[in-house]
Amino acid sequence: MKKLAVLGLVFMAVCACSSQKETTGTGKPAATVAIDSTEYEITIIDPDFDRWYVGHYSPALDRTNEYYRSMNSQGVINWNYYFTRNKYSTVIGSYISYNPSIDYGLEVNRRLYWYFRFIEENYRIRLLR
């Protein structure tokens, strides 16, 4: 029985130590813009963002798409600056490829803007100012 238990532990250790072929996440919040042939979609990998967004966003606070594009341009510049300097690496773990001359649509621009607000409020990292 002891040999079976030891063999089971060795098997679990080997399985746990095997290399991963693909990483699914680094545990760091990230924002990316995925490009489809006709639509754009934003994927935010931060488990706390959706709960925060529901509690803070209101249609009464909504702005124009141009406002979001302008603010996101500033936010992306600061985000990518911090990323390239490896500053706030526990929070900023990816580069954002965002072109302000492309119309990503109101929903994508709104979510990205509110994600920057979330980062500013929760991590005290200046992105939009």
pLDDT tops 80 at residue 12: no
Distance separating alpha carbons of residues 62 and 56, to the nearest angstrom:
11
In 3D space, the residue among 97, 75, 79, 100 whose CA is nearest the CA of residue 88 turns out to be 79
Name every residue whose Cβ is closer than 8 Å to that of residue 56 and which is 6 or more positions away in sequence.
114, 117, 118
Distance separating alpha carbons of residues 75 and 25, to the nearest angstrom:
22
Among the listed ranges 29-33, 46-50, 71-75, 95-99, which one has the minimum average pLDDT value?
A: 29-33
Tokens (6 digits) for 36: 């489809």
Q: Where are the alpha helices (DSSP H) in the chain?
A: 2-17, 49-56, 65-84, 106-123
Q: What is the mean pLDDT of residues 82-99?
A: 96
Number of residues in the chain: 129
Q: What is the pLDDT of residue 33?
A: 61
Distance separating alpha carbons of residues 17 and 98, to the nearest angstrom:
37
Percent of the chain with pLDDT over 70: 71
Reported as type and span, the H/E element at residue 62 is: none
pTM, 2 dp: 0.71
Q: How far is CA 46 from CA 32, 55, 92, 102, in A?
A: 12, 15, 11, 25
